[in-house]
Structure 1
Amino acid sequence: MTAPDNRVHEPIDPDIDLRMRARRHELTRGQAPVVAVVAAGGALGAVARYGAGLIWPTAPGTFPWTTLGINALGCAIIGVFMVVITDGWSVHRLVRPFVGTGVLGGFTTFSTYAVDISHLIDAGRARTALGYLALTLVVALGAVWAAAATTRRLIARRRS
């Protein structure tokens, strides 16, 4: 009698059979530069965010304008960046992960946003926390949309 097979069987990408040692090595070797540039960009973005927090600190229990501003600015830059690299110029394959995922991912910050909401709730300002939660969503999406739309118009005007 054989023992039941209790291993988890996850789906396998048909293009990359990770059961083959050579394919696993090929995948990890090809991803190393991407991981490196995301890490380096993330460090730069996080340092920039931290610096902004030092320059414009938020007093405990008050509305976190700095985090809102950082996230809005980062989202606007993401909107411009994505349009420029998809509609404007051809860039090296590592530019998008470095700038988009790394720098801007490290600069914009969901974790600080969540901590700010928690601090507002702990300070007895649940309404302010809820307002901040909703306002950040509206401002961030609006910033991406407005920046992308404006950039597309500028690129189209420049080409004509």
Structure 2
Amino acid sequence: MLRGQGRVVAAVAAGGVFGACARYGLGLWWPTARDGFPWTTLLVNAVGCAAIGVVLVVLTEGPRVPHPLLRPFLATGVLGGFTTFSTYAVDAQQLFDHGLPGRAVLYLGGTLLAALGAVWAASGATRAVLSARAGRGAGA
């Protein structure tokens, strides 16, 4: 079933290393106290979702056919490694454990809205840019 998928798995794994290292580095640069609002994770997930919106629109709707390993490397690997559902869940649990249920619920909902809004806005903006570029190319 997975025969011939070694290159794809390697691309995802290599991209995941970059994405996870970037997320880890941001966590070191901007740490969150155990009872503090997890701004770093919220920002990472929102930025990662915006980047996923851009990357997937460019790769699937752009004017050129990308290398077949670019999508698994970037979208699944780099950006999948960068964004983090596990840290999101742990951050929320820690807020609940510290007796901050309101902050935890705000974080859970805020992250969801920020991530969905980011991917929606970024994919829409990317489509608009691609459309404008295609229009200029046709008239030249």
Say yes or no: TM over 0.5: yes
The corresponding residue for 1:67 is 41
Matched, 1:97 2:80: no
State the structure with bigger RCO (CA 8 A, min sep 6), 1 or 2: 2
What is the identity, as a one-letter code, of the residue corresponding to 2:17? A
Cross-structure match for 1:136: 111
How far 1:43 moved relative to its partner?
Answer: 1.1
Answer with 1 or 2: which has the greater Rg: 1
- SS of the counterpart of 1:29? coil
List gaps (5 residues or longer) in structure 2.
136-140
Could you tell me how far 1:28 is from its partner in structure 2? 3.0
Residue 13 of structure 2 is matched in structure 1 by: 39
Runs of 4+ residues over 3 Å off in structure 1? none
Q: CA deviation at 1:29?
A: 3.2
Across the aligned residues of Structure 1 and Structure 2, the Cα RMSD in angstroms comes to 0.8
Structure in which a larger fraction of residues adopt helix: 2
- Give the deviation of 1:159 after TM superposition: 1.1
Q: Tell me the residue number matched to 1:158.
A: 133
Q: TM-score with structure 2 length normalisation? A: 0.93
- C-alpha displacement of 1:30: 1.1
TM-superposed deviation, 1:90:
1.2
Deviation sequence 1:33-85 (CA, Å, 0-9, x none): 11111111111110000000011111120100000000000000000001101
Counterpart Cα distance in 2 of 1:126 and 1:147: 31
The size of the alignment, in residue pairs, is: 134
Q: Which position in structure 2 is the counterpart of 1:76?
A: 50
Partner deviation per Cα, 1:86-122 (whole Å, 9 max, x = no partner)? 1113111111111100100000000000000011011
What runs of 5+ residues in structure 1 fail to find an aligned partner? 1-26
Corresponding residue of 2:93: 118
Are positions 1:56 and 2:30 aligned together?
A: yes
